[in-house]
Amino acid sequence: MANIHRGEIAAEIGGETRVLCLTLGALAELEARLGAGDLAGLAERFAGGKVSARDLTVIIGAGLRGGGNAISDDELAQMSVEGGLRGVADIAVRLLQATFGEAA
């Protein structure tokens, strides 16, 4: 069960309810994979509202791994999410809000 006070969310991905969390390690992964440089750079990038499908895969993949799920980005890309692209975007937004606060 997800604990929002620890920055966790729950989401149905690939037919299973999974816990996602952007741990310190997951945030470091995002910084490196997205070329953000630091946490402020990540927050600025996401606050701008422009994200690619690749960005969504990287964000959700890092969150899944931070939540204890051994899933690669390639495996994630093959999984279904209820609501399609809108559902994927919703998961990413909820995860970023749980990590950075409502202003994310």
Q: What tens digit of pLDDT does each residue of 50-80 get?
A: 788 999 999 999 999 999 999 999 999 999 9
Q: How far apart are alpha carbons 77 and 38 in whole angstroms?
A: 26
Structural domain count, the chain: 1
Give the range of the structural domain holding residue 71, as residue numbers without chain letter. Answer: 4-100
Cα dist from 4 to 22, 27, 57, 77, 94, whole Å:
11, 17, 21, 25, 10
- Show the CA angle centred on residue 7, arms to residues 4 and 11, nearest 5°: 70
The answer, as to whether pTM is greater than 0.85, is yes
Looking at every residue in the chain, the average pLDDT score rounds to 91
